[in-house]
Amino acid sequence: MPAVRLALAQTNPVVGALKANSDQIVEFTRRAVAAGADLVGFGEMAISGYPIEDLATRPSFLRSAHDSVLALATRLKEEGLGDVPVIVGYPDGPFDPRLEGTSNAPTAIAQNCAGVLYGGELIGRQAKFHLPNYSVFDEYRNFIPGDELIVLRIGDVDVALAVCEDIWRDGGPVSRVSSADAGVLFVINASPYERDKDDIRLPLVQKRSLETDTVVAYVNLVGGQDDLVFDGDSVVVDQHGRILARAPQFEEHLLIVDVQAEAATPPSITEGINRIELPKRGGAKPPLASDIAELPDDREQIWNALVLGLRDYVEKNGFPSVILGLSGGIDSSVVASIAADAIGADRVYGVSMPSRHSSDHSRGDADDLAERIGVHYRTEAIIDLVTPFETQLHLDGLAAENLQARVRGVILMGLSNAEGHLVLTTGNKSELAVGYSTIYGDSVGGFGPLKDVPKMLVWELARWRNEAAAARGEVPPIPENSISKPPSAELRPGQEDQDSLPPYEDLDAILDAFIGRRFGPQDIADLGYPPELVDDILRLVDRAEWKRRQSAIGTKISQMAFGRDRRLPITYRPHG
Amino acid sequence: MPAVRLALAQTNPVVGALKANSDQIVEFTRRAVAAGADLVGFGEMAISGYPIEDLATRPSFLRSAHDSVLALATRLKEEGLGDVPVIVGYPDGPFDPRLEGTSNAPTAIAQNCAGVLYGGELIGRQAKFHLPNYSVFDEYRNFIPGDELIVLRIGDVDVALAVCEDIWRDGGPVSRVSSADAGVLFVINASPYERDKDDIRLPLVQKRSLETDTVVAYVNLVGGQDDLVFDGDSVVVDQHGRILARAPQFEEHLLIVDVQAEAATPPSITEGINRIELPKRGGAKPPLASDIAELPDDREQIWNALVLGLRDYVEKNGFPSVILGLSGGIDSSVVASIAADAIGADRVYGVSMPSRHSSDHSRGDADDLAERIGVHYRTEAIIDLVTPFETQLHLDGLAAENLQARVRGVILMGLSNAEGHLVLTTGNKSELAVGYSTIYGDSVGGFGPLKDVPKMLVWELARWRNEAAAARGEVPPIPENSISKPPSAELRPGQEDQDSLPPYEDLDAILDAFIGRRFGPQDIADLGYPPELVDDILRLVDRAEWKRRQSAIGTKISQMAFGRDRRLPITYRPHG
Q: Which of A555, A571, A572 to mutate to test the interface with B (most CBs of B within 10 A)?
A: A555
Q: Report helix angle A397-419 to B397-419, nearest 10.
A: 170
Using the predicted structure, report yes or no on whether residue A576 has a pLDDT greater than 60: no
pLDDT for position B380 = 97
pLDDT for position A564 = 41
Facing residue for B549 by CB, picked from A195, A440, A446: A446
Using the predicted structure, report yes or no on whether residue A110 has a pLDDT greater than 60: yes
- Who's near A490: CB < 8 A, 6+ residues apart? A327, A355, A357, A358, A359, A362
pLDDT for position B575 = 45
Using the predicted structure, report yes or no on whether residue A348 has a pLDDT greater than 80: yes
Q: Give yes or no for B289 touching A (CB within 8 A).
A: no
Q: Give yes or no for A447 touching B (CB within 8 A).
A: yes
CB contact (8 A) between residue B133 and residue A133: yes
Residue A424 has what DSSP assignment? B
Residues 240-269 of A with CB under 8 A from B: none
- At A195, the amino acid letter reads R
Average of per-residue pLDDT across B120-136? 91
CB contact (8 A) between residue B562 and residue A131: no
Using the predicted structure, report yes or no on whether residue B64 has a pLDDT greater than 60: yes
Residues 297-336 of B with CB under 8 A from A: 302, 305-306, 309-310, 313, 317
Q: Give yes or no for A134 touching B (CB within 8 A).
A: yes
Q: pLDDT for B261-270, tens place per residue?
A: 999 988 777 7
Using the predicted structure, report yes or no on whether residue B88 has a pLDDT greater than 60: yes
B197 labelled as ligand-binding? yes
B547 labelled as ligand-binding? yes
pLDDT bin (cut points 50, 70, 90) of residue B565 is very low
Residue A27: active-site member: no
Q: What is the Rg, in whole angstroms, of the alpha carbon atoms belonging to chain A?
A: 26
CB contact (8 A) between residue A557 and residue B389: no
Residue of A128, A280, A429, A455 marked active site: A128
Average of per-residue pLDDT across A350-370? 92
pLDDT for position B124 = 97
Task: Look at A452-456, A553-557, B441-445 and tell me which has the smallest mean pLDDT.
Answer: A553-557
Using the predicted structure, report yes or no on whether residue A563 has a pLDDT greater than 50: no
Q: Give yes or no for B563 touching A (CB within 8 A).
A: yes
If you average pLDDT over every residue of chain B, what do you get? Answer: 91
Average of per-residue pLDDT across B10-38? 96
Q: Give yes or no for B410 touching A (CB within 8 A).
A: yes
Facing residue for A410 by CB, picked from B108, B389, B559: B389
pLDDT for position A406 = 97
Q: Detail the residues of A annotated as belonging to a binding site for L-glutamine.
A: 134, 191, 197
Q: Which of B557, B559, B564 to mutate to test the interface with A (most CBs of A within 10 A)?
A: B557
Q: pLDDT for B529-538, tens place per residue?
A: 999 999 999 8
CA distance B315 to B309: 10
| pLDDT greater at residue A443 or residue B234 | B234
Kindly identify which residue of chain B lies nearest to residue A425, measuring between CA atoms: B552
CB contact (8 A) between residue B520 and residue A440: no
pLDDT for position B438 = 92
Q: Give yes or no for A575 touching B (CB within 8 A).
A: yes
pLDDT for position A175 = 79
CA distance A25 to A32: 10
CA distance B253 to A166: 49
Distance from CA of A385 to the nearest CA of B (A): 6
CB contact (8 A) between residue A546 and residue B317: yes
CA distance A51 to A72: 21
Could you list the active site residues of B? 44, 128, 164
pLDDT for position A304 = 97
CB contact (8 A) between residue B417 and residue A410: no
pLDDT bin (cut points 50, 70, 90) of residue B100 is low
Contact B89, B65 (CB under 8 A): no
Average of per-residue pLDDT across A346-368? 92
Average of per-residue pLDDT across B161-174? 84
List of chain B residues whose C-beta atoms are within 8 Å of the C-beta of residue A437: none
Number of helices (H) and strands (E) in chain B: give both, helices first. Answer: 18, 21
Distance from CA of A429 to the nearest CA of B (A): 8
Facing residue for B392 by CB, picked from A135, A385, A574: A385
If you average pLDDT over every residue of chain A, what do you get? Answer: 91
Residue of A53, A113, A139, A164 marked active site: A164
pLDDT for position B270 = 73
Average of per-residue pLDDT across B484-493? 87
List of chain A residues whose C-beta atoms are within 8 Å of the C-beta of residue B561: 227, 429, 451-452
Q: Phi first, then psi: what are they for A270, rounded to 5°?
A: -135, -10
DSSP B204-221: HHHHHHHHHTSEEEEEE-
Q: What percent of chain B has pLDDT over 70?
A: 94
Q: pLDDT for A505-531, tens place per residue?
A: 999 999 999 888 888 899 999 999 999
Q: Detail the residues of A annotated as belonging to a binding site for ATP.
A: 325-332, 426
Using the predicted structure, report yes or no on whether residue B563 has a pLDDT greater than 90: no
CA distance B51 to B570: 10
Residue A44: active-site member: yes
Q: How many CB pairs under 8 A join A and B?
A: 368
Kindly indicate whether the ipTM for this predicted assembly is greater than 0.90, answering yes or no: yes
Using the predicted structure, report yes or no on whether residue B102 has a pLDDT greater than 70: no
Using the predicted structure, report yes or no on whether residue A103 has a pLDDT greater than 50: no
pLDDT bin (cut points 50, 70, 90) of residue A105 is low
Q: pLDDT for B283-332, tens place per residue?
A: 889 999 999 999 999 999 999 999 999 999 999 988 999 999 999 999 99
CA distance A354 to A491: 10
B224 labelled as ligand-binding? no
Average of per-residue pLDDT across A203-228? 94
Kindly identify which residue of chain B lies nearest to residue A544, measuring between CA atoms: B573
Q: pLDDT for B396-408, tens place per residue?
A: 999 999 999 999 9
Question: Between vectors from CA B56 to CA B54 and to CA B62, what angle results, nearest 5°?
Answer: 140
pLDDT bin (cut points 50, 70, 90) of residue B169 is confident
Distance from CA of A475 to the nearest CA of B (A): 26
CB contact (8 A) between residue B384 and residue A395: no
B325 labelled as ligand-binding? yes
CA distance A229 to A466: 24
| pLDDT greater at residue A169 or residue A218 | A218
Distance from CA of B129 to the nearest CA of A (A): 10
Task: State the pTM of this model.
Answer: 0.94
**Count of Cβ atoms closer than 10 Å to residue A392 Cβ:** 15
Contact A49, A20 (CB under 8 A): no
Residues 57-86 of B with CB under 8 A from A: 57-61, 63
Q: pLDDT for A150-175, tens place per residue?
A: 999 999 999 999 998 888 887 777 77
Using the predicted structure, report yes or no on whether residue B166 has a pLDDT greater than 80: yes
Which residue ranges form the domains of chain B, and what is each CATH number? 3-279 (3.60.110.10), 299-497 (3.40.50.620)
Strands (E), B155-310: 157-163, 184-189, 215-220, 222-225, 228-231, 235-237, 243-246, 253-260, 273-278
Q: pLDDT for A271-301, tens place per residue?
A: 889 999 999 988 889 999 999 999 999 999 9
Q: Give yes or no for B486 touching A (CB within 8 A).
A: no
Q: What percent of chain A has pLDDT over 90?
A: 71
| pLDDT greater at residue B517 or residue A82 | A82
Using the predicted structure, report yes or no on whether residue B524 has a pLDDT greater than 50: yes
**Count of Cβ atoms closer than 10 Å to residue A317 Cβ:** 18
